[in-house]
Each structure stands twice: as C-alpha cells, then as structure tokens.
Amino acid sequence: MTTLHHNLSLKDEIRDFWSMRSETFDSMPGHEIFSSEERQAWLALFARHLGRVAPGAKALDLASGTGVISLLLAELGYGVTGLDLSEAMLARARAKTAGKPIRLYAGDAEDTLEESDSYDVVATRHLVWTLPDPPAAFREWHRVLKPGGRVAIVDVDMTNPRPGNGKALRALAKLVKRWSTPKPPAPYAAAHAEIVSRVYFSQGCRPEEVARLLTEAGFVDIVIDRELGAIHKAQGRFMPLYQRLERASQDRFIVSARKPE
C-alpha cells in the first residue's frame, strides 16, 4: 500500500512539473522541431522502425506533450490518439493539431484505459525515463497493441555516457562550458532532480534494460538503435557548442519491438 501511494504522489509531481514546463516547452530545440531537415529525419526514423503504414492504421502517442510526435505520426498516415498526464500540455497540443486526424485526452501511460488489441503502433518520446513502473507500462502497451503491432521508444540516458566516446565528449563539454557563457540554471532544475531521484530509472535509462523489460512483457524482435545523428545534427544548429557536446555525450536511442502475431 505504501508503494502505491508513493507512485500516485510521484505521478502528481510529474504531471505538475510538465504542466509548468508547458509554457516554454516548444521554445526549446530538442522538444519542438525547428527545421524541415529535423522533421524529415524524425519521419525517416519512425518509418524505419514502424514499417509500412496500412490503410486505417492507428497509433497511440503516449506522453504526447504539445503534439510534436502525434503530428509526425499523422504525417506518416496514422490516425493518432495522444495521451498525456498534463492538461496544460494538451491545451497547447490541441491548438497545434486542430484539423488533423489526432485525438487527444488526459490519461496515464501505465493504465491507458484503451481497448485491448486496438492499436497498430505505440510510440513514446522521453517518457520511459520518467515512469514509476515501466514493467507495468510495457505490459499495458503490449495489451493495447494488435497482434503484430509495434512499439517505438525514443529516450535518453542522461546519467551514463554514450558507449564509445561518451566520456570524452562529456569532459570536453565541461571544458567548453567553463569558457563559454552558459545559460543560467533552469528554475525547474531542483524539481527535475527530485523527480529523477525517485523514478525506476533513477540510475539512468539504459536501453539494454528497456529491452530486457520489453522482453519480459512479451515483446519480440527488439532492436536498439543509437543512430539518431541526423536528428541531433539538425537540433544542434540551434544550440550553443557546449550543449551540443553535452547531448552528444548522452546515450540517446530508440528501442523498437513487436507484439507476436
């Protein structure tokens, strides 16, 4: 009972945090899309992992925020349902997605209340690292997917450096930042750190652990893909050098998988 109460409280804090962030969310590179080059890179990434879009295919965009990923999925040809804890985020998404084949509502990614076997695709961006209970979430996503449906998880491990040159890039980023004029600390930094300390992935959202949990939930054909360079290059044009290096040092990835037929 104590664990359940803790998780509900944490979800309230997560909802309130992102509601606060909604005011400036679309002003930040890495959240909103600022160039056609980045948009095309996102479309190519999802097409690569989700495959051909069948007529009438449906996608569920979890933690849909201001609608960025929902709009991409609609452009690929899906009828989209976007779900988010934050009504403030959804209000901004509704303004951006008016007239598109996108339905938006407030809900919990760990308990969507959607019908079983009803979606061809479940997609998320930067959600999994915030989940109090990823195993429960992945079982839920498996339930709502049709047999043969696919999940695509775009996320980041901001704690552990990227395999290969991540440590070197992190050290270089610190050096460049020391000689730059960095942005002042974000006013929400303390709240962010408090949330991170209490989620399942408090020690870092490793894609291998995401893949393991997907396997436990019943998914197959799991792919870990760290080749997001085209997206990061396009985003980096709107960032100072030290921030580009910081992001390049992080383990940013997409994990995709399939529900068995």
Domains and CATH numbers, the chain: 2-258 (3.40.50.150)
204 pLDDT more than 70:
yes
Instruction: Supply the pLDDT for residue 2.
Output: 34
Residue, of 102 and 23, whose pLDDT is higher: 102
Q: pTM to 2 decimals?
A: 0.91
Nearest-angstrom CA–CA distance, 62 and 123: 6
Mean of per-residue pLDDT scores for the chain: 92
The predicted-structure confidence for 20-53, as pLDDT tens digits, reads as follows 999 889 999 999 999 999 999 999 999 999 999 9
CB under 8 Å, gap of 24 or more: what pairs does 20-28 form? 20/88, 20/188, 20/191, 21/188, 22/65, 22/66, 22/86, 22/88, 22/89, 22/91, 22/92, 23/88, 25/65, 25/66, 25/89, 25/92, 26/66, 26/92
Which has the minimum average pLDDT: 102-116, 180-194, 195-209? Answer: 180-194
Nearest-angstrom CA–CA distance, 227 and 224: 9
Mean pLDDT of 135-147: 98
Residue, of 198 and 104, whose pLDDT is higher: 104
Residue, of 74 and 187, whose pLDDT is higher: 74
